[in-house]
Amino acid sequence: MRSFPLPPLNSLIAFESAARNLSFTQASIELNVTQGAVSKQIKLLEEYLGKKLLHRSTKKMELTLAGLEYYDTVRKSLFILAEGTDKIRGVHGSQELTVAATTAMTSLWLMPKVSTFQALNEDIELRIVASDNLSETAQYDIVLNYLRFPPRGCRATALFDEEIFPVCSPEYLRKNPNLTTPESLSDCTWLYLEDMQKDWLGWLEWFDGLGIPAPVPKRKLKINSYSMLLQSCLDGQGVALGWSYLVDDYLRSGMLIKPMEPMLKTGSKFWLIESDSYTRNQKGVDNFRNWLIDKIPHI
């Protein structure tokens, strides 16, 4: 019997990771190999197929038309292979639940609460994935993310609305007692989030949403991680934009304060998104969704 023409399997894994992340760097971290190894595997795959899959430039990476088509095939095939492997092994596979969220949501909102879920669901093995690239929902059972609109074809449950307001430390406010209005932010250091997700707002968008001309800040401190940005805010290094629910624990403890009343309510929401592919643990998905919805009024 003639065997099926299969490409190099290691190359498929490298391609799936690089295409999903649109980054050799992220793929190398995810696969625990060097960037050169990822590049070599994808080049090997392109030579095997006789097609260019990824277009690489100094600033960004994009999938070619052939790459887009092939990525969908590879993603689905690897998912089916992983699912079948779990079933054969029979080790925790049917009870594992994978929940993905952005790094900020994971560290600031989700992780402090998951112990209560685990206490109520001892038979479910929870797997938490923190990533700022959550465009591909099929590989996770549940995705938690701020979005204007949830992806099509998925079951999406709105958890709460997006509310954004300035926050600072009590020490910073003592040093800047005139910080009482949006206009007074011109005398402050703005903690500025770089590499924002497309649906996250920055300072200019916040002022625009309130219908107020944005002043020029005294200075900016740019940070590419929201968790690190909040730590800088806690250390009294400037004023940050705070998202409700993400910073509520800090506000309740008094470690951060709202120096002014204006708050922007956007059309975005915090969504619980369930995979549009078959999940190995529907009971776990249902339990997690119901538990989280029940937690919202008490947070």
Higher confidence at residue 159 or residue 135? Answer: 159
Residues 13 and 108 placed together within one structural domain of the fold = no
Residue 36's domain comprises 9-89
Distance CA 112, CA 272 (A): 17
Residues 243 and 124 placed together within one structural domain of the fold = no
3-class SS letters over 165-224: EEEECHHHHHHCCCCCCHHHHHHCEEEEECCCCCCCCCHHHHHHHHCCCCCCCCEEEEEC
Distance CA 158, CA 59 (A): 35
Strands 54-56 and 61-63: antiparallel
- The answer as to whether 4 is a domain residue is no
**pLDDT tens digits for 41-95?**
999 999 999 999 998 776 678 889 999 889 888 988 887 787 677 666 555 445 7
Q: Which residue has the tokens 């099926």?
A: 4
What is the residue type of 47?
E
**pLDDT tens digits for 94-110?**
578 889 998 888 888 88
Which pLDDT does position 209 carry in this prediction?
Answer: 93
- The answer as to whether 3 is a domain residue is no
Residues 214 and 127 placed together within one structural domain of the fold = no
- The answer as to whether 107 is a domain residue is yes
Residues 253 and 196 placed together within one structural domain of the fold = yes
Residues 154 and 279 placed together within one structural domain of the fold = yes
Residues 257 and 288 placed together within one structural domain of the fold = no
- The answer as to whether 1 is a domain residue is no
Q: Which of 3-12, 48-57, 182-191 has the lowest mean pLDDT?
A: 3-12
Query: What percentage of the chain has pLDDT greater than the value 70?
Result: 89
- Tell me the range of 40-44, 133-137, 193-197 where mean pLDDT is highest: 40-44
- The answer as to whether 2 is a domain residue is no
Residues 258 and 168 placed together within one structural domain of the fold = yes
Helix axis angle for 9-21 and 65-89, nearest 10°, is 120
Residues 180 and 48 placed together within one structural domain of the fold = no
Distance CA 75, CA 221 (A): 39
CA angle at 124 for the pair 121 and 127, rounded to the nearest 5°: 120
Residues 57 and 195 placed together within one structural domain of the fold = no
In the structure, what pLDDT confidence band is assigned to residue 263 with cuts at 50, 70 and 90? very high
Residues 231 and 287 placed together within one structural domain of the fold = no
Distance CA 234, CA 230 (A): 6
Domain stop point among 89, 120, 151: 89
Higher confidence at residue 176 or residue 196? Answer: 176
Residues 50 and 184 placed together within one structural domain of the fold = no
Q: Which residue has the tokens 């937690």?
A: 295
- The answer as to whether 110 is a domain residue is yes
In the structure, what pLDDT confidence band is assigned to residue 261 with cuts at 50, 70 and 90? very high
What are the start-end ranges of the H helices in 94-139? 103-105, 114-120
Whole-model pTM: value is: 0.63
Mean model confidence pLDDT for the chain: 85
Residues 237 and 172 placed together within one structural domain of the fold = yes
What are the start-end ranges of the H helices in the chain? 9-21, 24-31, 35-49, 65-89, 103-105, 114-120, 170-175, 203-210, 226-234, 248-253, 282-295
Which pLDDT does position 148 carry in this prediction?
Answer: 80
User: What CATH number is associated with residue 49?
Assistant: 1.10.10.10
Which pLDDT does position 195 carry in this prediction?
Answer: 64
What domain count does the chain have?
3
User: What CATH number is associated with residue 149?
Assistant: 3.40.190.10
